[in-house]
Every structure is written in C-alpha cells, then in structure tokens.
Amino acid sequence: MKSQDIRNTFLNFFEEKKHSIVPSAPMVLKDDPTLMFVNSGMAPFKEFFLGNAQPKNNRLTDTQKCLRVSGKHNDLEEVGYDTYHHTLFEMLGNWSFGDYFKKEAIAWAWELLTEKFGIDKDLLYVTVFEGSDDADKLPMDQEAYDFWKGHISEDRILMGNKNDNFWEMGDQGPCGPCSEIHVDIRSAEEKAKVDGKTLINRDHPQVVEIWNLVFMQYNRKANKSLENLPDKHIDTGMGFERLCMVMQGVQSNYDTDVFTPIIREIETITDKEYGKNEKVDVAIRVISDHVRAVSFSIADGQLPSNTGAGYVIRRILRRAVRYGFTFLDKKEPFIYRLVEVLVTQMGQTFPELKVQRQLVENVIKEEEASFLRTLDQGLILLDRIIENSQTKEISGTKVFELKDTYGFPEDLTDLILRENGYTYNHGDFDKKLKEQQGRGKEASQLKSDDWTVLIEDEEQEFIGYDTLEAQVKIAKYRKV
C-alpha cells in the first residue's frame, strides 16, 4: 500500500464512524506560551479539551504535522541513529470531544489495524497504565484493561508506568492515562534469539510503538496539581511513517515511500549510496529528515533566526549541513535542491508547501551557504589547534575563542574533538563564557548560547530574513 493510500484509509475509516476530516494545523504556535511547536495531534485542540471552545463536530480526524525538537518531547539526538524517530512527522488522529470514550476508541483502533489494514493480530501488543504512587496517586486503568481483554489475549496486555502510559503534552495542559499499541516487526532471526518472550518497544527497537490512545480526563495546572476536565475526551496519535513501515513490510521508516524519493535524490546529488556505510547512512537519514522539518517550518512562516523557535529551526538545518559537510563531502549548498522532491510528494496533502516553495528554497540555500563558510573557516582553525596540542585535552579558552571570534559552535567542536579522540576543558570554557556574559549586557538581547554566527556579512543575511519574514504569507488553511 502506498503511503498516500495508507493516510487516506485512516481518514476515511474514521469518516465512516462519523468523524469530520480536518486539515493539519500549522506547526508553529504563535500564541501558546507553553509550547513552541505543535508536538502532538492534540496541541491545536487544547481549547476544545479544556472546554473553552466548541468544535462543529465533536468527532474529528486528521493528520497533524508534529515537531519534536524542544521541550518535553525532544527526539533530535535520536534522529538519524535510530530508524523510527523523526524531528517532523505526521500524527494521524481521531478525536472525541466529550463524545465516545475508551470502549469505542479501543474497538475502532483494533478494527482498523487488524481488519482494514490487515495487520496480523499475533504481531500486536498493547499497554495499559499501571497507576502511580507519586504525588498524583493515580489508579490503574482497569477500564482500558477490561476493554482490551475483549480483543486480545491477556498475555499481550502489558502494564506500563507513568513515563510511557500517562500522556502529557507539556508541563501544563490536558492529560490522561493511555494505551499504546506496539507492532512486532522483528525478522525471524531476531525472534529466534529471544524465543517466546513478550516484548514491546522498550525491550527491542523493532517492536515499534505505532499508536497511542490517550484517555483525556485531567488538566495539569501550573502549580502541578491535576484537576478533572469538565468532560472526558479521546485523543489518539498514530505515527504515520511508522504505520507505513509496518504496512510496507520494511524495517525502517527510511525504507518507506515517504523517504525513499528524498534519499534517492540525495544519492544522486552527492554520488553516495545509501546502505553501504553506517556514517554515510546516518548522514543521509539526518538530511532526509531535517529537510522536511525545516521546509515545513518555513512554509508555516517560521524562518531560521537567532532567537526562539527560529533558532531551533536554524540549529536543525545546521545539523543537516554539518552531516552533509563531514560525511557526504558536500561543501556547497545542496539541501535546498531536495525541496522539489518534497513538494512533488507532499504538496497535495500539504498545499502550503507548494505555495511557499520558492521561499523555502531561497531561505535554505542562503542559510546553507552562510553556515558552510563558517564551517570551512572553523575547521581549518580546529585542525591547527589539534595539530599543535601536546595533550589529548584542548584548552577551554581555545574552544571559546573559536566560538566567540569565529562563530564555530561549541557542540560541533565537541563532536569533532571526540571523533578524533580528544576532549576539551569544559570548566575553562564555561568560565570564559560567564566572563563574557558579564561583560556584554546588550548581548542578552540576542540568544547566542551556541551556533551563533558572528561573521559580519552573516549578520546582514539574517537581517534579510527578518525582512523576508514580514513577507511570508501564512496560509490560514485550517477550518474546523
């Protein structure tokens, strides 16, 4: 089944169950102080859960663009190294606002996976919240357990702790116990190694969590206490790329048709082959993932910048540039060239990408070019420092100078040093940084913790973005 059909099958299934299909909300939140980016399908519906607003239909279904690179849900470091965490991903969801609850949510999830999608029941596991004896004193979710018992044998229902089975969007907001659905996609060979043992994602990377059914019944207040929501709601989130992996019978999200066209293009441009060398593979995965995050952010109106959400986007793009530079030998901009493939592939479902294509390409290209200049200069200097060092520990002052004078990011220096078997004196570095912060009060207006480029003409480009930002037309495409 093609990814496009998988997405439609999900949405149509819930439409048949009287849900209205709504488009994804923009990923960038401008008016929510508790969250920088939408990190789950429920974030845009927060007001409905709290009872502050009313949807036209109390059953909705959608695919929501999510970004998990900051705050409570931050998967950035995983991306590229595992095969199923992305920065940007689509979360398929069905929603009940004070309408149906656990019974229907569980029954329909089961029907969709095993009947519509035809996933073998013997490959599925589910989890149920075991309760907590911390300050919240939450009970075990016996109700969910009993509903699951009607569909799946009890040895496939596992208990989960608060970490995995109590869902919270952030430090505040609607939340509740949840049931996760895991699919075992291990190869026969892998299975033979631990024959008969019940496994879920926390035990084996190829028993993958695909769907989370959240039973929304509380609101976490600023003072950390929980209050009951006026009504009970259903919030489900299924990782679209992971579902595609299961449905397409592959072992990695990157081997689904969501990613293969981008990966083929990277191979063509860089003259490298995916699947031959681990470092190259990581770099290709990182770039194919990050180009999506950055492109969708820009299309939603969030450009790279030196503060807040823009700074997060800048860091993601620079992470991609750095992997291309180091492992794919790309010393000139190329990531912007992948946007075309993305538009062809995703433009129908997410028209904002098509509309903003030119802007997205221009911004990425400019950003790549400026960071590549920084990298070039910094790497030469770092090489020299390594060559001249008598010991395996570089002085913190030198690393600070690289950052302060040349804009070469500390975390990048750290990475390169580690790759070469070196370290640096973190204490000295921090001391220098504190001294500098004490000196320059004006600098506090600019978030310059790391990754900030201080080369003169860079500054001008960044100013250019601010002007561009004013020109971005954020498509108001969400109608509920």
Q: Which residues bind ligand ATP (CB under 6 A)?
A: 40, 68, 75, 85-86, 89, 91, 209-212, 237-239, 241-242
Size of the site for Mg ion (CB under 5 A): 3
- What is d(CA 398, CA 451) in angstroms, rounded to the nearest whole number? 16
What DSSP letter does each residue of 4-27 carry, written as one string?
Answer: HHHHHHHHHHHHHTTPEE-PPPPS
CB of 71 to ligand ATP, least distance (A): 12
Q: Which does 85 bind (CB under 5 to 8 A by kind): ligand ATP, Mg ion, none?
A: ligand ATP
- What is d(CA 480, CA 213) in angstroms, rounded to the nearest whole number? 22
Q: Which residue from 304, 292, 294, 274 is spatially nearest to 341, judged by alpha carbons? A: 292
Of 38-46, 207-215, 396-404, 457-465, the segment contacting Mg ion by CB under 5 A is 207-215
Q: Which does 237 bind (CB under 5 to 8 A by kind): ligand ATP, Mg ion, none?
A: ligand ATP
Residue among 80 and 409 whose Cβ is closer to Mg ion: 80
Q: Using CA atoms of 450, 453, 454, 456 in order, give the dihedral in degrees to the nearest 10.
A: -170
Tell me: does residue 3 bind Mg ion (CB under 5 A). no
Report the DSSP pairing between strands 73-74 and 59-67.
Answer: unpaired
Tell me: does residue 212 bind Mg ion (CB under 5 A). yes
Of 205-213, 284-292, 365-373, 439-447, the segment contacting Mg ion by CB under 5 A is 205-213
CB burial string 4-14: b at 16+ within 10 A, e below = eebbbbbbebb
CB of 210 to ligand ATP, least distance (A): 5
Q: Which does 184 bind (CB under 5 to 8 A by kind): Mg ion, ligand ATP, none?
A: none
Of 20-28, 51-59, 96-104, 209-217, the segment contacting Mg ion by CB under 5 A is 209-217
Residue among 44 and 237 whose Cβ is closer to ligand ATP: 237
Site string for Mg ion, 175-204 (x = CB under 5 A): -----x------------------------
Amino acid at 79: V
Closest residue by beta carbon to ligand ATP: 239
CB burial string 361-386: b at 16+ within 10 A, e below = bbbbbbbbebbbebbeebbebbeebe
Q: Which does 266 bind (CB under 5 to 8 A by kind): ligand ATP, Mg ion, none?
A: none
Per the DSSP assignment, residues forming a β-bridge with 67 are 88
Residue among 251 and 436 whose Cβ is closer to ligand ATP: 251
At residue 233, φ and ψ (nearest 5 deg) are -135, 160
Tell the residue number behind the tokens 């990695």, with chain if given. 252
Binding residues vs Mg ion (CB under 5 A): 180, 209, 212
